[in-house]
Amino acid sequence: MSRVPGWLGRVGAGISKVGERLEERRAEDDESDVEAGRMSSDESAQDHVPAPPAYAPAVAPRPEPVAAVPWGLRVAAEAGWRLLVLAGTVWVLMKIISSVQLVVFAFVAALLITALLQPTVARLRRRGVPRGLATALTAILGFVIMGLVGWFVVWQVQENIDNLSDQVQDGIDELRKWLLNSPFHVTDNQINDIAKSLREAIGANTDSITSAGLEGVTVIVEAMTGILLTMFSTLFLLYDGRRIWEWTLKLVPAQARPGIAGAGPRAWRTLTAYVRGTVIVALIDAIFIGLGIFFLGVPMAVPLAVFIFLFAFIPLVGAVVSGALAVVVALVTQGVFAAVMVLVVVLAVQQIEGHILQPFILGRAVRVHPLAVVLSVAAGGMVSGIGGAVVAVPLVAVTNTVVVYLRAWSREASIRQAPAPRGATAVDVAPVDPHSSPSGD
């Protein structure tokens, strides 16, 4: 049987397959042509959209949303959320500080005492006294003096309390007679009504007074704890203050470490100048006002002078409170004339203090605007009471010194990093010296 038909069959099958492939390619080409026609028809339809009439207003393209927001509003928003973050951070820090308030106040008191005693330690070290012995002698002497002052005040109050109560009763009677004969037209019934109101107020607050007396044990325990913490902190700061500062610098990021390292000693000098100046001014106030009270015959002149010395550490408010206390004691014990003379003495000494002593003693080392003093004392008192009012002004003074120095240091660093202009000399690009003054003046 011949093989030709089989060969022809295979050839026919191959031709059939080639034909099928050609048909598939033709179909694909037709589909692509149809799609291209649709796209061209769409483009032609778009191209043949009639133009708007000439009287139609021009429509500007819409800007990006970021570009549509005014620049001032964007700046306010950027500053706003950063201020919110900063306020939240401060709030958290205040919560933490309030929870350990006793420890914080003890350490701050230790810093203030160290600023007062550290020059004595340095002076002893320069004379060859070992560091441990110099620290021990200075700390013991300082704590003994403060303890003797406290004991003296308590002793004077206890010795004069009986005599003072009799003099207060006599003074009240004299004040009553003076009010009856004064030009204010005060009647006896009005005085009796005031006395009755005072008795009722005291009777209504008996429970509060009793509870405050019961809480006295807790207050004493907290006070003793704070005193012990202050003493130990002062000893370690006097003995090892430099190492503590060097360890604290390790917690600062490396880029900011040089600036903080330069600001720290200047802040410490500001704090030292503030504490020493305040002690000198307070001592002068106490001596002169105490002498005036003594020569006017006001009882408890020495305890009142000590109170004036202690209250002088609260700027503005302390002077007013201590002066008012002296005037009230003079009023109820010696009469109106003595009270007026005490007021004159207090005002005269405070005027000399404000215009001569503080500018001369504190100088330029601690320069804080009076408005900043008032606001800082008010804020410190609202946040933490008397302790906050005492700490507020030195905190503001130290912060001012640190900010001024860091601003000068960053300006100097930027000048050093910037390329010198062509043709400029070393004098033209000399950086500002931040070491010239701690206050930056």
Whether 126 and 139 have beta carbons less than 8 Å apart is answered as no
Per-residue model confidence (pLDDT) at position 427: 41
Q: Which residues contact 157 (CB under 8 A, 6 or more apart)?
A: 300, 303
Q: Residue 394 is encoded by which pair of tokens?
A: 């030195």
Q: How many whole angstroms separate alpha carbon 248 and alpha carbon 145?
A: 31
DSSP letter for each residue of 52-65: PPTTSPP-PPPPPH
Question: What are phi and psi for residue 33, nearest 5 degrees?
Answer: -65, -40
C-alpha dist (Å) from residue 129 to 23, 125, 233, 318, 397: 111, 5, 22, 38, 33
Cβ-in-10-Å burial (0-12, 13-18, 19+) of 296 comes to middle
- Alpha-carbon distance of 271 to 383, in angstroms, equals 22
Tokens linked to 323: 């002066």
pLDDT reported for residue 434: 41
Instruction: Round to whole Å and give the CA distance between 76 and 196.
Output: 58
- Main-chain dihedrals φ then ψ at residue 428, nearest 5 degrees: -65, -35
What tokens appear for 311 in the block? 């209250």
Q: Is 269 exposed, middle or buried (0-12, 13-18, 19+ CB in 10 A)?
A: middle
**Inter-residue contact 120 to 275 (CB < 8 Å):** no
How confident is the model at residue 138, as a pLDDT? 87
Predicted TM-score (pTM) of this structure: 0.65
Query: How many Cα atoms are found within 13 Å in the side-chain-facing hemisphere of 265?
Result: 9
pLDDT at residue number 428: 43
Encoded tokens for 348: 């005269």
CA angle 386, 216, 222 (to 5 degrees): 60
Residue 191 neighbours by CB under 8 Å, 6+ apart: 176, 179, 180
Cα separation, 203 vs 205, in Å, equals 5
Q: Would you write out the chain's pLDDT as a tens digit for each of its 441 residues?
A: 444 556 566 666 666 776 677 677 766 666 665 555 555 555 554 555 566 666 666 666 777 777 778 888 888 888 898 999 999 998 898 888 878 888 888 888 888 888 888 888 888 888 888 888 888 888 888 888 888 877 877 777 677 666 666 666 666 666 666 666 766 666 666 666 766 665 565 555 545 544 544 455 677 777 788 888 888 888 888 888 888 888 888 888 888 788 888 888 888 888 888 888 888 888 888 888 888 888 888 877 777 888 888 888 777 777 778 888 888 888 777 777 888 888 888 888 877 777 776 667 666 556 677 777 778 878 887 877 777 777 888 888 888 888 888 888 888 877 777 665 555 444 444 444 444 443 343
Predicted local distance difference test score (pLDDT) of residue 58: 67
Task: Provide the pLDDT for residue 339.
Answer: 83
Collapsing DSSP states into helix, strand and coil, what is residue 382?
helix
State the CB neighbour count (10 A cutoff) for residue 105: 20
Tell me the one-letter amino acid at 209: I
